[in-house]
A = this chain, B = another copy of it.
Amino acid sequence: METKKNDLSKCFDLPSLCPVFNIRAASRIITQLFDEILKPSGLQSTQFAVLVGVHIFDTPSINKLAKGLVMDRTTLTRGLKPLENEGLIKIVSGDDKRIRFVKLTPKGKTALEKTLPYWEKARSVVSDEFGQKHLDGLLKDLASVREIKN
């Protein structure tokens, strides 16, 4: 008889064709590479991205910053703590007492300037490792993953 068994042979497809496995593994590797190179700056990849977001969105609310960084709001809340403790950002209120704005301090601005060269270095390492054209394609694909959310 032909057994319709829900067997486990499909498991062997995971390394080659599972999106979540592949993207998480790649994410870990890229993050480690960047964190290693950013180390002398004192910032981690995510913290750097948050500071950049605070700069380019120009003292945004928590919500706006979270949206801009494609992060969960509550994740961002926790992530802001160490930056605030280090004095790199300051949380300020306005007229609407619900809203809290994230402001880059002078110290935060300095940290950002100091980190940018390491960021460029890390990018060039990835680019060398990967090929500029290849990397451009990957970045475009990753950006389009963000579209799924909408």
Name A112's closest neighbour in chain B (CB-CB): B8
A112 CA / B148 CA spacing, docked (Å): 27
At the interface, yes or no: A19 with Cβ under 8 Å from chain B?
yes
At the interface, yes or no: A77 with Cβ under 8 Å from chain B?
no
Return chain B residues, CB-CB under 8 Å to A70.
Answer: 25, 28-29
Query: Is the Cβ of B20 less than 8 Å from the Cβ of A116?
Result: no
Q: Tell me whether A143 and B113 are in contact in the complex, defined as CB-CB below 8 angstroms, given that A10-B120, A11-B55 are known contacts.
A: no
Tell me how many chains of this kind the complex includes. 2
At the interface, yes or no: A145 with Cβ under 8 Å from chain B?
yes
Return chain B residues, CB-CB under 8 Å to A12.
Answer: 56
A148 CA / B29 CA spacing, docked (Å): 8
Interface size, chain A (Cβ < 8 Å): 62
Would you list which residues of chain A between 94 and 150 have a CB under 8 Å from chain B? Answer: 109, 112-113, 116-117, 119-120, 122-123, 126, 129-130, 134-135, 137-139, 141-146, 148-149
At the interface, yes or no: A41 with Cβ under 8 Å from chain B?
no
- Choose one: B18, B33, B137, B142; the contact of A49 (CB below 8 Å): B18
| Contact code string A31-45 (vs B, CB < 8 Å = 1, else 0) | 101100000000001
At the interface, yes or no: A92 with Cβ under 8 Å from chain B?
no
Chain A interface residues toward B at CB < 8 A: 6-8, 10-12, 14-31, 33-34, 45-46, 49, 52-53, 55-56, 69-72, 109, 112-113, 116-117, 119-120, 122-123, 126, 129-130, 134-135, 137-139, 141-146, 148-149
